[in-house]
Chain A
Amino acid sequence: MRAPSAIAVLALLVSACTLPPQDDPVALAEYQEVNDPFEPTNRFIFSVNLGLTKFVVEPVAVTYRDLVPSFLKNVVSNVIFNARLPLSFVHATLQGDGEAMDQTASRFFTNMLFLWTADIESDEPLDIEDAGQTFAVWADSPTGGGPYVMLPIFGPSNVRDALGRGIDFFIDPIGLATSTEVGIGRAATGVVDFTSRNIEEVRDLERNSLDFYATVRSLYRQRRAQQIRNDQVEPTDPAPTIGVDFPSISEDISQ
């Protein structure tokens, strides 16, 4: 009884997985670069997330954006931002980054004084750390987060970041100090706040990409690598060239 059901579960998992193409080296290299073995499942979850965003989050976010006075939105955004700093401080500590610890701690307390007035997030850039980034720093591997994973509701992630997210849920000082209801309210407000500020950009992105799923996957990876490097820009490699090495298009250079 048990064995057949285990086989059924296994069969289901495998059928929702794309298998590496073994006989074609080029296709295999591409498969490994994309690193998205759960792509069919991920795409399904992505489409559900998009539906949720369109029919639930966006209407709320647009109402919030257009009806709530900006000083109040600013306060909400400040409180949400500041509540992330204690966890970020924990991770700055775990990463052994003394400068980030100093900055995060002093910003947390200074921010308290300006919650009602300034726009504290963009005041001066501050790196926000999390468990996924801590793992990456420990492993010294900004891009080695494992297979891409699309999480329900939370969106793009990878194995390392998803695990980190789970851990952060349990070790977040603000989360530990408050009730579950407050935690849910905080998460929901965070989503509405973010969506209300970025709705146009996301729509533009969707309109201008051929495969929105693939574009989001690419952006997530690049952005995460950048956060892990604490915003040190690393030029892409390989990268486009002007084409001096490519005779048949060299007329493009001369004109």
Chain B
Amino acid sequence: MLTGSQTLIEQLASEAIDTLTVADLPAAQRDEKFRGLLQEHFAVTGIARFALGRHWRNASEEERRQYVGLFQDLIVATWADRFQQYAGQKFDVIGAEVVDASGEEKVSLVQSVFFTSPETPVTIDWRIGSSGDVYRVTDVMVEGVSMALTYRDDFASVLRKDGLPGLLIDLRDRAQGNV
């Protein structure tokens, strides 16, 4: 399980560097390639569902579909560009540990370090869920800050005020503003 998790992150890193950091790659193509990696290696629906909190249960099938799509757009808009600035910085996987092996879905944590400059290491921890030989990233923690939890808290504030319809409008505005 640990080998599988570690392999996933190493593979993800090398795929990302190979496909996303190509010089002069048009932004639209980078976005699409990033979206491909996201769908292949991340539990996008699971993360989206977590970020919606209790509102997921009451959402209709159609609302869920729209929401998951828009959530993906937000992640792409936030992260894809950053690979453009990549200039050979070092990324090292340093270890892995089991978090929970009791359930049907096993959970492990892969620790890694990304050097934004040779002197500035940033710790990145990858939470990996696995079932059989399916491995997916379920959360990314940068210096201890969980991306999934941050999205959840950000969305909760909008949901409390305007409910799911309000969140969908905000996400749509954001997606269109950024494209």
Contacts and interface: CB of A to CB of B under 8 A. Distances in A.
B92 to A, nearest CB: 15
Contacts of A119: 119
Given A122-B119, A241-B46, A242-B105, A235 B127 contact: yes
Contacts, number: 136
Interface residues of A, number: 41
Contacts of A222: 144-146, 149-150
A26 B54 contact: yes
Interface in B50-74: 50-51, 54, 61, 74
B111 interface: yes
Contacts of A236: 127, 139, 141, 146, 148-149
Contacts of B111: 233
Contacts of B30: none
Nearest to A251: B45
Interface in A222-240: 222-223, 225-226, 229, 231, 233-236, 238-240
Given A208-B78, A222-B144, A215 B153 contact: yes
B43 A210 contact: no
A211 interface: yes
Contact of A243 (B46, B120, B144, B157): B46
A215 B160 contact: no
Contacts of B109: 233, 235
A88 B65 CA distance: 50
Interface in B150-171: 150, 152-158, 160, 167, 170-171
A239 B125 contact: no
A229 B125 CA distance: 15
Nearest to A226: B144
Interface string A65-94: 000000000000000000000000000000
B44 A252 contact: yes
Contacts of A215: 150, 153-154
A222 B125 CA distance: 14
Contacts of B120: 122
A211 B157 contact: yes
B104 interface: yes
A105 to B, nearest CB: 23
B174 A210 contact: yes
Contacts of B150: 215, 218-219, 222
A238 B136 contact: no
A210 B158 contact: yes
Interface of A: 26, 30, 34, 119, 122-123, 125, 204, 208-211, 213-215, 217-219, 222-223, 225-226, 229, 231, 233-236, 238-246, 248-249, 252-253
Interface of B: 43-47, 49-51, 54, 61, 74, 77-78, 99, 104-105, 107, 109, 111, 119-121, 123, 125, 127, 129-131, 134, 136, 138-139, 141, 143-146, 148-150, 152-158, 160, 167, 170-171, 174
5 contacts: A210-B157, A210-B158, A218-B154, A219-B150, A244-B104
A-B interface, 10 closest residue pairs, ranked by CB to CB distance from nearest = A226-B144, A214-B157, A218-B153, A240-B50, A242-B129, A242-B43, A211-B157, A240-B138, A240-B47, A242-B136
